[in-house]
A and B are shown apart, each in its own frame.
Chain A
Amino acid sequence: MLQKIDAIKKHFEAEINNINEPSGLEELRIKFLGRKGMISNTFSMLSEVPAEIKPLFGQRLNQLKKTVEHKIKEAASKFEQKSRTESRLDLTLPGRSPGYGGRHPLLAVADEIKDIFSSLGFSIEDGPEIETDFYNFEALNIPKSHPARDMQDTLYITEDIVLRTHTSPVQIRVMEKQKPPIRMIAPGRVYRRDTPDASHSPFFHQVEGLVVGEDVSFADLKGIINAFAHRMFGSDIQVRFRPSFFPFTEPSAEYDFSCVFCHGKGCNVCKGTGWMEISGAGMVHPNVFEAAGIDSEKYTGYAFGMGIDRIAMLKYNINDIRLFFENDLRFLNQF
């Protein structure tokens, strides 16, 4: 009887060595381990086995069953491994994109500017875009007949309500409700009566800064603009101040940065001058302090402005401001 077990074992070993695909292996499993397979059949013969070898027979048969199971499993895993290497994924195919979004480039630059001033200890203030003539002009020392009103061609809602031409009115609103020291910036959308073209837009973004305290001087103003220039464009940037005129500051200045493209050597962007005009600044005019209820004998202060659009254009080398509000996805998706 025990020879029969050896015969099955030999039979199995002969067959398993000839199998080269998974389906053959399954056939083999049924042939030996199936309900009516050779091993099951042999178990059913157990009653006919003489009692003295019964335990040994049972033990041997169980051992055979285990060996067969193990070998089939082993063979199966070999096949699986083989098939895995054969149908390898084409990893060069593109991945499944979750899509991506992002901040508008102009507003990303605005964030950068705001973060720089935040880190310099400035608060960030907000105010209405539709403003009264008082806050936009009168309080800033620009009375009705002032020729400087022509410098900022204004859009009117009513005779006394305008689309703010700068964010300076926010300065007045802050000074009215808060005592010095004041250190703030006011970023936001502003409006001018300009027909849109590559370098003009009827709406654009500005940041105005204001610092008021005792003994705040023009030297401090130069210092803060330097600090900003270096943080925004790098520590090799030079800053130049030129006298200018704004009704709300005295002395007034225009400030320029050395050209970020040619490092001051002169190129197309800076029209060969090596300088890029940034914006205006100056010491707060006593009339402005008085309009906002601040003692102009006790306090001095400086104010400065900058165009966010212009800085963004310089930063990304964009030559047409209209790209910012066309919302062309081919443009936006670059950021």
Chain B
Amino acid sequence: MKITYNWLKDYIDFDETPQELADKLTAAGFEVEELYPLVKSFSGVVTGFVEKVEKHPNADKLSVCKVSDGTESFQVICGAANVAEGQTVPFAQTGAVLPGGFKIKKAKIRGVESFGMICSKEELGLEAKSEGIWALETAEKPGLDFYQLLNSNADYVYDFFITPNRPDCLSMIGIAREVAAFTGNSIKYPKQSLCEDSTQNISDFISIHIHDEEGCPRYAARVIKNVTLSESPEWMQRRLSAVGIRPINNIVDITNYVLMETGHPLHAFDLSEIRGSEIHVRSSEPNEKFTTLDNKERQLPENTVLICDSERAVAIGGIMGGLNSEVSAKTKDILLESAYFAPVRIARSGKKMGLSSEASQRFERGADRNAVPDALNRAAYLMEKFAGGVVVSGIADVYPQTIEPYKVVFQPDKINRLLGTDYSRDFITDKLQRLQLDVSENTVTVPTFRVDIKKGVDLAEEVGRTVNYTHLPVKEFTDIHYDMPVSSVEKKLRYFTRNMLELNLREAFTASMIKKSEAELFQNGGHITILNPISDDMTTMRPSLLPGLLKAVNYNINRNMNDVRLFESGRIFTHYRPGQLPDQPYSLAMVLTGKRWQEGWNAKADMVDFYDIKGYLESFLAKIALDNFQFILYDKSSYLCDKEALSLEVKNQQIGVCGKIAADICTRFGIDQPVYAFELNLDLISDVIHFERHYKPVSRYPYSERDMAFILDDSIAADSVLSFIRKNAGKLLHDLQVFDVFRGGNLPEGKKSAAFRLRFQAPDRTLGDKEVDKIFRRLIQMVEKQFDASLRN
């Protein structure tokens, strides 16, 4: 919300400089987002007197003017239709610099020379858009410096961020009340001394009927007759422009001006369009339509507050007027509305229609029902003065149920307890009273413009604000011992992440929202989708971390970084659950592509393959000491190669997958090199591992090593032989490795050779050769029998 420094002085006296005022209001909770001089700097512009206007010989729309600066006359070409002899205008002479740095030079326009330019307000940076040049209302002596003339009373514009709890401060008087709180000066309320025409009475012109008291607790109106529509006074236009409101005509400008002053929205109807001399306030019916003054037909949400005459709707209460009753050039008599609408009703209708106005923003946050007559009288006064209107005697004011001001229990000790202060009762009372809060023995009566004060804690904030938060005491942090429960999720997540980092991996961070088509590649249906997505790229919650990581792979390959190994941990979103929150387990995933290591002058590198990703996964599982897991061949994945995929299972439950990303998936992500990946469900893994671990003693005695190599059927998985040996070797087997596998050579078709290295060790003694050999020979026989294998020599 914008105000100007000088305008504010109409309502309150203060000595603060513009910057001091900004600092004090910011400290009071009204953040100044911008503070700038009203008139942007320009030079070389003087008041000019238009002596002569003739048509340009070569262009219909241009005029050749003679403009005097008091000492000399200049030939100036002007394109504005409103230029006329006898006007006093801002005249930018050659060499002038306009706001934004635009320099005026001598020019030849359609064959005629021009020495300078006649300016519009837009060109001087005074308004966003001008129609025609600025002809001053009052003649000024030519040759005066125009910047000094405008800036003789230098003004500044403040743009405030007003928090939604303080609708009262969406006005000059609201801000003035805040200034009063720190200056102690009193508010100068605007003049509203009317000369009512006692020969005419309001009841002869309008009768008001509220049928929707809940939506509209108060509705008041005045009639102003015989107004003359024209431009509003120069000063009013300038003030409105300064705070970002475009001047339209005196009637509309006055309602806007009073809105800015008091914060209370008003609406002016053309009285001749109000049929039956009646106003009915009712709520809308299903499927009702209405055309607002911006000439848009709108479908009204049910329960919208409607202002109607005896036949039809004429305005959407508190939001926007209707096209059918708008003030226009032929308007003579005005029906001026000042009402109070229920915040919830305005908010609901406004949101459903996607319609927000200066009025609706104030009503939905909470207007002041007691400001209704004041705003009405002030606007009527201004219409009398600046639109030549005659104010009909009386206000039609329907206010069936007087709403009493809010009362809050006054407990200074609680205020002190909350703020950590020890202010006296008198001190606190003074602070509250400066804000027009009425403090009695043990009650604070809240003025109706303060819709935010409901409880004792709200009073504490008022005291804190007026003292200034910076001056409130600080209690140095002391370590009070609180017995806090262990934060288990955090601990687990850090444990998993740390173990991945210890494998020399780089952590990534990817988006949680992805395209639906991407989600479909990783989960068949059941996706968690967003009702109001930001864009088509972010409609669906990720069912896996892999789409994000594949995008990261693609991003880097596109920038010639072809060797990528990344991991991420975070929530994935997998299934809806009726009546509950969707499943959102923590997941851990890794992607791997490109060369096995960084190639160097002495280190040639191969491309990674399946065994690299499996190696990473195995290392990770070893680090977190996951026992009893099984790798199962897996050909049911929609995104992994059937022939290079494993399922990681514990007790027949899948807890992760590992493998090569299918080529068509890579293509979908714009990747044309093999990518390997694994993904684990951390919630499930957390259930089957031990975070607390005990040390297993390391044997001090030497181990005995034995190798065995078998020729066996190519279809027999290495893992089944390993598990078989492990299961049957007894507890002296300390370590088991596959150290060689090959096919072909002089082996028969369909056979392979697999060699295993076994280490035997006892915790308490050196094993004798005989003992080891016995176990070893037994194992060989068992393997031969179990797998129909033969021992190689």
Binding site for B on A (CB under 8 A): 93-94, 96-104, 106-107, 111, 114, 120-126, 128-132, 145, 147-148, 150-151, 155-159, 161, 163, 178, 181-184, 187, 189, 191, 193-195, 202-203, 213, 215, 217-220, 222-224, 226-227, 240-245, 250-254, 283, 285-286, 300, 324-330, 332-333
Contacts and interface: CB of A to CB of B under 8 A. Distances in A.
A28 B243 CA distance: 107
A250 B454 CA distance: 11
B597 A99 contact: yes
Given A184-B484, A203-B512, A219 B472 contact: yes
B505 A223 contact: no
A104 B504 contact: no
Nearest to B471: A241
Nearest to A131: B581
Nearest to A217: B420
A303 B780 CA distance: 68
Contact of A329 (B365, B506, B534): B506
Contacts of A324: 509
A219 B455 contact: no
A249 B265 CA distance: 30
A220 B28 CA distance: 21
Interface in B434-480: 452, 455, 457-458, 460-461, 464-465, 469-470, 472-477, 479-480
A283 B460 contact: yes
Contacts of A227: 476-477
A161 B581 contact: yes
B678 to A, nearest CB: 16
A220 B648 CA distance: 50
Contacts of B477: 120, 220, 223-224, 226-227
Nearest to A159: B531
A245 B167 CA distance: 12
Given A101-B506, A327-B566, 19 more contacts: A101-B501, A101-B507, A101-B565, A123-B484, A156-B532, A157-B528, A157-B541, A202-B513, A220-B420, A223-B476, A226-B474, A226-B476, A243-B27, A243-B461, A245-B163, A245-B165, A324-B509, A328-B555, A330-B559
18 contacts: A97-B600, A99-B597, A104-B508, A120-B477, A129-B584, A150-B164, A158-B531, A159-B531, A195-B534, A203-B511, A223-B476, A240-B469, A243-B465, A243-B469, A251-B418, A286-B457, A325-B509, A333-B506
Contacts of B457: 250-251, 283, 285-286
A286 B461 CA distance: 13
Nearest to B455: A286
Chain B interface bracket (under 10, 10 to 19, 20 to 34, 35 or more): 35 or more
Nearest to A161: B581
Contacts of B474: 219, 222-223, 226
Across the A-B interface, give the 4 residue pairs with the lowest CB-CB distance, nearest first.
Answer: A219-B420, A243-B29, A217-B420, A251-B461
A43 to B, nearest CB: 42
A252 B461 contact: yes
Contact of B512 (A131, A161, A191, A300): A191
B464 A218 contact: yes
B512 A218 contact: no
Nearest to A246: B163
B484 A241 contact: no
Contact of A103 (B464, B469, B476, B497): B497
Nearest to B489: A126
Contacts of B555: 326-328
B4 to A, nearest CB: 22
Interface in B102-133: none
Nearest to B343: A145
A159 B602 CA distance: 62
Nearest to B463: A251
B602 A96 contact: yes
Interface in B553-599: 555-556, 559, 561, 564-566, 570-571, 573, 581-582, 584, 597-598
A159 B476 CA distance: 44
A203 B420 CA distance: 36
B481 interface: yes
Contacts of A226: 474, 476-477
B344 interface: yes
Nearest to A251: B461
Nearest to B528: A157
Nearest to B461: A251
B529 interface: yes
Nearest to B551: A327
Q: Of A157, A191, A195, which is in contact with the most chain B CB atoms at under 10 Å from its CB?
A: A157
B506 A245 contact: no
Contacts of A129: 512, 571, 573, 584
B332 to A, nearest CB: 39
Interface in B599-618: 600-603
B472 A222 contact: yes
B427 interface: no
Contact of B503 (A101, A147, A194): A101
Contacts of B347: 145, 147
Given A96-B602, A189-B570, A332-B508, A130 B501 contact: no
A203 B556 CA distance: 22
B81 interface: no
A151 B164 contact: yes
Nearest to B31: A242
A252 B28 CA distance: 12
B512 A243 contact: no
A245 B473 contact: no
B751 interface: no
Contacts of B531: 155-159
B727 interface: no
Given A103-B507, A148-B164, A325-B510, A130 B573 contact: yes
Given A223-B475, A245-B164, A99 B556 contact: no
B364 interface: yes
A97 B598 contact: yes
Given A222-B475, A224-B477, A155 B511 contact: no
A329 B559 CA distance: 10
B465 A102 contact: no
A251 B460 contact: yes
Nearest to B478: A223
A110 to B, nearest CB: 10
A326 B489 CA distance: 27
Contact of A126 (B487, B509, B530): B487
Nearest to A129: B571
Nearest to A252: B461
A163 B530 contact: yes
Contacts of A182: 482
A25 B552 CA distance: 63
A73 to B, nearest CB: 33
B469 A242 contact: yes
Contact of A193 (B452, B534, B582, B603): B534
Contact of A99 (B364, B584, B598): B598
Contact of A104 (B489, B507, B511, B598): B507
